[in-house]
Structure 1
Amino acid sequence: MRLGIAAGVVAGCALLSALAQRRSSAASLPGVEIAAHLDAARAFNRSSALLALSVLADSGIEHYRGSFANKAMYTPLISSLLSLAAGLHGSAESDACKHPVRNVIYLSAASAGIAGTGFHLYNITKRPGGVGWHNLFYAAPIGAPMALLLSGALGAVAERLRDEPAVDPQLFGMQAGRALGLVVAIGLAGTVGEVALLHFRGAYQNPAMYAPVTAGPLACVLLTHAALAAPRARWLTRAWLRIIAALGFIGVGFHARGIARNQGGWRNWSQNILNGPPLPAPPSFSALALAGLAALRLRETER
């Protein structure tokens, strides 16, 4: 147990430190000045990549368990892999203009997420009993494809933000920082709903299962308030989003512990990884929290 939790903490801290060091090193280079909106766009590319990685691993495991009975089940693997590549490319790209190929990839991923939600909803409704607790628990997870939609949406927003001027950038008819904060808050709310459903299925047998469904809503409220209120330093919102980012990686350790508790533990990993808690799912919280921090930084620079 301690080993799994420690691994999650170390991985999360390592990624957050690497991202912070990357930003600071880029800003310290002589002659290099990255506009606030471009820095936010690159952060959204990174968040999109982390979400895509989570989707790639999670859908690969779940659809393998379903024996890829429908050929459409390969779609999220392809879309998330392309979205991951686009996110990594965008995070290293300092040009202040939209990349047409990345933009198409992101829009395609978002479309695949919407289509996947339709497929999963159909899978639930066609079962005996239709939309009910049993089918919501054990049929195709209704909220899972939304992570691919979020990955595509965050990336597409990043590309659109790159085309905006450095002074007073706008998105969706409002200040960019405000728009980005609201987008992330909506994504967090949907993620909390999916986690609440699956942890309810697990009967909250571990008190730690309450953490994401209690900390997540508060993060949504704080980020929404920061987006809608007058721009100023929001130390509490920033601190809470960092807690959410760490919580996502710590969740990997708890899920690894859940897999180890099944019969055979990790020695029987090929079976238990299919039946235990989804190992790649918690980092989606981290991805959205990192995007929220980027939106908050941009919001604080606005007038």
Structure 2
Amino acid sequence: MSNNRPPWTTLACAAAGVAAAAVLARYAPGVRRQRIPARRLHIETSRAFNRSSALLACSVLTDSAMEHYRGSFSNPAMYVPPVVATCSLLAGLHGGADRNAQTHAMRHAIYWGAALTGVAGTGFHIYNVMKRPGGWSWNNLFYAAPLGAPMALLLSGALGAAAERLRNQPARSPRLLGMPAGKALGLLSGIGLAGNAGEAALLHFRGSFQHKAMYAPVSVPPAAAALLLHATLTKPRPRWLARVALQLTWLIGWLGAAFHIRGVARHHGGWRNWSQNIYNGPPLPAPPSFSALALAGLAALRLRESERR
């Protein structure tokens, strides 16, 4: 049998590439670098972080609701993450539309609650891994409670809390944690993106990288994280390469969701048997987390480029 691909497959791949480039050029955040007055830049950055937190919380909500339902909510604590993620999602949506230069007390409290819930959830998941036969092993990391899920809730809370703290800062030269705000937010976004890429690498390694597209989230996002961290830790100046890498990461998140939808459809029964296949196929909520962190990274990079040191 010939291994040559049929012409329609080649045409479909070419069309997909053109469509992806069009989406990047039209919809990716940060492509059009509009000049924003300094008195408004930190508020727009805060709103971007609120939106990023909301998108990340949406991924956590969907994932935790599905996985904890599959676990029959055997531990009452398993009800907490979906509830907290819902609150974080609503807080992020509210904050994303809020142009006030003041911290919203309720949103801030919700974000701190999400961060603390993420810390507690990480402890529970580590315990779940360690109590299995073999303890800390690759097999248990692959198939026990995923460590990245509660960390995503922690990150959602951290992004939102940073957004609220930033609102109270002066319009010029805002600071967080004793450093320029752009630098602090860039570090948070870059580290979060690197951790998310590590989780994807673990799960795609489990899947033996059976599709070439599975290499994308373990190559572009780590590069974007490295470029963002470099831009954050060095002298502020325009960083077009970091911006392009983050825009590609944003796009990879949405394309990854489409690939995961396709992965569910390839299982027996396809979407007609959705109640089984959404658990057997690749996790649908995972890829958009890349888009969420890329959105935060682009906002942090824009703020960092405007700083003097």
**Residue 297 of structure 1 aligns to which amino acid in structure 2?**
R
Distance in 2, matches of 1:162 and 1:104, equals: 15
Residue type of the partner of 1:105? I
- Cα deviation code 1:114-163 (max 9, x no counterpart): 11101111111111111111111111011111110010000000000011
1:17 is displaced (CA, Å) by: 3.4
* Residue of structure 1 in register with 2:270 after alignment: 265
The alignment status of 1:172 with 2:177, answered yes or no, reads: yes
Q: Distance in 2 between matches of 1:74 and 1:94?
A: 33
Structure 2: segments with no counterpart, 5+ residues: 1-8
Aligned to 2:134: 129
Letter of the 2:46 counterpart: A
The answer to whether 1:234 aligns with 2:244 is no
1:150-299 equivalent positions in 2, closer than 5 A: 150-299=155-304
Distance in 1 of aligned mates of 2:223 and 2:307: 24
1:3-50, Cα deviation, whole Å (9 max, x unpaired): 9x97xx88x959x839779x97xx7xxxx9961111111100000000
Normalising by structure 2, we get a TM-score of: 0.89
Task: Flag as ranges the 4+ runs of structure 1 deviating above 4 A.
Answer: 18-21
Residue of structure 2 equivalent to 1:94? 99
How many residue pairs match? The answer is 293
Output the CA distance in 2 between the equivalents of 1:20 and 1:144: 28
Q: How does 1:103-122 map to 2 (within 5 A)?
A: 103-122=108-127
**Considering only aligned residues, what root-mean-square deviation do their CA atoms show, in Å?**
2.5
Structure 1's 232 and 136: CA in aligned 2 closer, same or farther, altered over 3 A? Answer: same
Measure the CA separation in 2 of the matches of 1:271 and 1:195.
22
SS for the counterpart of 2:135 is coil
Alpha-carbon separation, structure 1, partners of 2:171 and 2:39: 9
User: 1:193 Cα shift?
Assistant: 1.0
In the TM superposition, residue 96 of structure 1 has moved relative to its aligned partner by 0.6
Q: Distance in 1 between matches of 2:231 and 2:177?
A: 17
> Does 1:57 find its partner at 2:67?
no
Taking structure 1 as reference, are residues 236 and 19 closer, same or farther at Cα in structure 2, changes over 3 Å only? closer
Tell me the equivalent position of 2:27: 17
Identity %, equivalent residues: 62
- Aligned-partner Cα distance in 2 for 1:292–1:300: 12
CA displacement 1:227-271 (0-9 Å, x = unmatched): 011111111111110000000000001111111111111111100
Contact 2:46 2:163 in 1 (8 A): yes
Q: How has the CA–CA distance of structure 1 residues 184 and 268 changed in structure 2, closer, same or farther, with 3 Å as cutoff?
A: same
Report SS of the residue matched to 1:35: helix
Q: Which runs of 5+ in 1 are unaligned?
A: none
Is the CA contact (8 Å cut-off) linking 2:51 and 2:92 kept in structure 1? Answer: yes
Q: Quick one: structure 1 residues 215 and 80, their matched pair in 2 at CA, closer, same or farther if it must change by over 3 Å?
A: same
CA contact (8 A) 2:29 2:295 kept: no
Q: Give the letter aligned to residue 256 of structure 2.
A: G
Structure 2 residue identity aligned to 1:228: L
What do residues 170-198 of structure 1 show as CA deviations (whole Å, max 9, x unaligned)?
11111111111111011011101111111
Task: Supply the distance in 2 between the matched residues of 1:46 and 1:71 (Cα, whole angstroms).
Answer: 30
CA–CA separation in structure 1 for the residues paired with 2:273 and 2:176: 49
Return the index of the structure with the highest Cα Rg. Answer: 2
